[in-house]
Structure 1
Amino acid sequence: MSSAFVELQPVISDYFDALYHCDTELLQKVFHPKAVYATADDPPLLHRTMDEYVPVVAARQSPASRGEVRTDTIEEIQLAGDNTAFARVRCSIGQSDFVDFLTFVRTDGRWQIMSKIFQIIPRQTGSA
């Protein structure tokens, strides 16, 4: 396994932990300060900078405090080169599942998320 794969896995794990605990300090560690956060689920396009995104996470009740079951999964990691990578991951918050496309850059020997583009998938409750 490539050293980049080994280096990316704990960054993604920290990303999942940051979301589950609404830990904005950890969130700011895994995201590059100039990262982009976006989704086109509900028009118009939602686009936030990190300065806009971090307070949103800080204001949430954490999934951890509600005792939610974690469903974190790394589905795929691709490397474009020594300093650029992509990961497709899944996690759940509240009644929604999320598919996140995360792009990473490595600067000064450290991997950080440069963009998060995501799809919200409402969880089905019960069956017909």
Structure 2
Amino acid sequence: MNQQTPLSTVDRNAADYATLCAVLRDYFDGLYHCDTKKLAAVFHPQATYANATEGKLLKLSMDEYFPVVDKREPPASRNETRRDRIVSIEFAGPVTALARVECAIGPKFFTDLLTFIKLDGRWQIITKVFHYDLME
């Protein structure tokens, strides 16, 4: 009888960490190129986008957010230097994670808190809460 050894928690977390890094690369690429098809693959269809940087709550569904992205001029078309990085990834459990990332688009420097869920073996962003500062 051939029995497979289940992945240890450390191995599972290492595999999930690598997968989340790949998803975040697609997230950064989607933002840099304003590619909503790529973004739709990393966001859960019921995900929420929210911030209050300007003093009032801005909360959008993906159906509201993607048209905003479609109307933007892609940073790639302006040959902007990419300034995106993963600050941290933390696991709350086997199907829940939080990533803190940073990126710059135009004059804005963003700190994004991205909550992930893993459904059907796939990690997707379920909430994007962010703050931005204007760069000088």
- Provide the residue aligned with 2:63 in structure 1: 51
Matched, 1:85 2:97: yes
Tell me the residue number matched to 1:64: 76
Instruction: Report the secondary structure of 1:71's partner residue.
Output: coil
Name the TM-score, length of structure 2 as normaliser: 0.89
Cα deviation, residue 44, structure 1: 1.9
Cα distance in structure 1, aligned partners of 2:108 and 2:52: 15
The structure whose Rg is larger is 2
**1:70-101 residue CA offsets vs partner (Å, 9 max, x unmatched):** 01110000001110000000000001100000
User: What fraction of aligned residue pairs are identical, expressed as a percent?
Assistant: 51
> What code does the residue aligned with 1:111 have?
W
The runs of 4+ residues in structure 1 deviating greater than 4 Å are: none
For 2:25 and 2:99, locate their aligned partners in 1 and report how far apart those are by CA, in whole Å: 12
Q: Does 1:42 align with 2:57?
A: no
The residue number in structure 2 matching 1:112 is 124
Q: Which residue of 2 aligns with 1:97?
A: 109
Equivalent of 2:40 in 21, 28, 36: 28
Query: Which residue is equivalent to 1:10?
Result: 22
Structure having the higher helix fraction is: 2
Q: CA deviation at 1:35?
A: 0.3
Q: Once the 2 structures are TM-superposed, how far is the Cα of residue 43 of structure 1 from its aligned partner?
A: 2.7
Letter in 2 for 1:8: L
Superposition deviation, residue 2 in structure 1: 1.5
C-alpha distance in structure 2 between counterparts of 1:89 and 1:7, whole Å: 15
Give the whole-Å Cα distance in 2 for the aligned partners of 1:8 and 1:82. 12
